[in-house]
């Protein structure tokens, strides 16, 4: 509208100049022509004003200043279930992977297994020289046989009220003592046979025949896929966040495998050196998973809430007052300060500032300010 007025005045001024330039004339003539020109300008101005009003009534956008809108994309502040997870490194363990050791001193007379061999529970893995024990057992058996005969005779006489009570008790005591000695020697003899406590595979055989062993000397490392689990160390900062039965996600990077499981045990002791506590996770009975010391990544949920207002973390900005986002309000961007909760997997929980359902500026949010006119181009 302003430009139209200016153009009209330029035209009238040109007419006036042209009129003034027509001949010299007298002073009175010039004054008359000036007054006539002014009347013409006034009439044109009135006509311009009338036309502007009529045009504006039919076209509301006529005469308005056009402002350039900033192109943006938007996202919706959804209400959804939100959880925060942590990842810790763990290892596959087994309660049935042990070193089988000697329980008595002596020389190994035989080692009956080799590495990689499968053995059954109770199978003899190695034997220790038992010659001395066997001779002792034979000697005690002879003594026991004699003591038994003496006791039986004393017993018959005692029942007939013949002999003294002390003789009867002494014979009984000798017999029982030798029985106990024989049982002890037989137990020691049994320990010279080193047996497998469970079925499994021989992983290592660090001993060899002819070697003199002491109690505790490792004879074989027995590995079993029975009763396996995953153990992981969790920072003490998460005490009270997990309990037995909680669901977890486990990945085995070396195998490219993932599965869901549950927590079987939560430790109650803090490691003084690492300031962590132990969490045990059940391991499915799948053959390829059952490898001792296999690295596992355990994903634990330490925070979960239903119907939380969630937005992408990438759209959050910060100023001196705190975190903020831009909300689309009509055709303009409105700056909204928000209070954030947990952040996980590229999403942030909004505790205050948004109620859910708002349209939030996504791409282009770095090039606008509060009140900027925007054009949504999703």
Place of tokens 């017993």: 155
Q: How far is CA 12 from the centre of its chain?
A: 80
The yes or no reply on domain 70-83+306-376 and CATH 2.40.420.20 is yes
The token pair at 320 is 């001196």
Going by C-beta distance under 8 Å and a sequence separation of 6 or more, which residues neighbour residue 49? none
pLDDT in tens, the chain (378 residues): 444 454 555 455 555 545 544 555 788 888 888 888 888 888 888 888 888 888 878 877 776 656 678 898 999 998 999 999 999 999 998 888 889 999 989 999 999 999 989 999 999 999 999 888 889 999 999 999 999 998 888 888 888 888 788 888 898 999 999 999 999 999 989 999 999 998 888 989 999 998 999 999 999 999 888 788 999 999 999 998 999 999 999 999 999 989 999 999 999 999 999 999 999 999 888 877 878 889 999 999 989 999 899 999 999 999 999 999 999 998 899 999 999 999 998 999 999 999 988 999 999 889 889 988 888 887
pTM exceeding the 0.85 threshold for the entire prediction: no
Q: For 281, how many CA atoms within 13 A lie in the half-sphere containing its CB?
A: 28
CA distance 257 to 288: 10
At residue 305, what are phi and psi to the nearest 5 degrees? -145, 145
User: 86-95+223-303: what CATH class?
Assistant: mainly beta
Q: How far is CA 356 from the centre of its chain?
A: 27
**Quick check: 140 and 174 in contact, CB under 8 A?**
no
Task: Say what the alpha-carbon torsion angle 287, 292, 294, 297 is, to the nearest 10 degrees.
Answer: 90
- 3-class SS at 156? helix
Q: How far is CA 227 from the centre of its chain?
A: 24
At residue 372, what are phi and psi to the nearest 5 degrees? -65, 135
DSSP H helices, the chain, are 2-20, 27-58, 131-159, 165-191
- Dihedral sign computed on CA atoms, order 360, 362, 366, 371: negative
């Amino acid at each position: 509208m302003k430009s139209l007025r200016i153009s009209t005045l330029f035209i009238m001024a040109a007419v006036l100049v042209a009129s003034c330039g027509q001949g010299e004339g007298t002073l009175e003539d010039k004054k008359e022509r000036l007054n006539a020109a002014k009347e013409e300008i006034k009439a044109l101005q009135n006509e311009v004003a009338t036309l502007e009003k009529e045009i504006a009534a039919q076209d509301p956008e006529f005469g308005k200043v056009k402002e350039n809108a900033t192109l943006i994309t938007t996202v919706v502040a959804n209400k959804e279930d939100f959880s925060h997870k942590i990842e810790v490194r763990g290892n596959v363990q087994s309660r049935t992977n042990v070193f089988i050791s000697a329980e008595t001193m002596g020389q190994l007379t035989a080692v009956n297994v080799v590495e990689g061999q499968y053995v059954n529970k109770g199978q003899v893995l190695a034997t220790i020289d038992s010659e001395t024990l066997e001779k002792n057992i034979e000697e005690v058996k002879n003594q026991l046989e004699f003591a038994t005969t003496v006791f039986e005779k004393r017993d018959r006489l005692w029942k007939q009220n013949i002999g003294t009570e002390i003789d009867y008790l002494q014979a009984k005591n000798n017999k029982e003592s030798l029985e106990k000695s024989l049982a002890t020697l037989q137990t020691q003899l049994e320990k010279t046979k080193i047996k497998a406590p469970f079925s499994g595979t021989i992983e290592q055989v660090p001993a060899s025949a002819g070697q003199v062993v002491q109690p505790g000397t490792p004879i074989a490392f027995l590995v079993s896929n029975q009763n396996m689990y995953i153990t992981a160390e969790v920072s003490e900062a998460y005490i009270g966040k997990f309990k037995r039965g909680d669901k977890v996600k486990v990945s085995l990077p070396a195998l490219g495998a993932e599965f869901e499981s549950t927590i079987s045990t939560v430790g109650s002791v803090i490691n003084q050196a690492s300031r962590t506590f132990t969490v045990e996770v059940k391991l499915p009975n799948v053959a390829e998973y059952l490898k001792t010391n296999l690295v596992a990544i355990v994903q634990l949920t330490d925070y979960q809430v239903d119907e939380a207002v969630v937005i992408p973390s990438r759209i959050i900005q910060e100023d001196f007052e705190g975190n903020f986002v831009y909300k689309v309000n009509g055709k303009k961007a409105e700056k909204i300060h928000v209070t954030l909760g947990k952040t996980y997997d590229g999403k942030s929980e909004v505790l205050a500032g948004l109620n859910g359902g708002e349209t939030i500026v996504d791409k282009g949010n770095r090039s606008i300010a509060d009140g900027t006119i925007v054009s949504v181009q999703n």
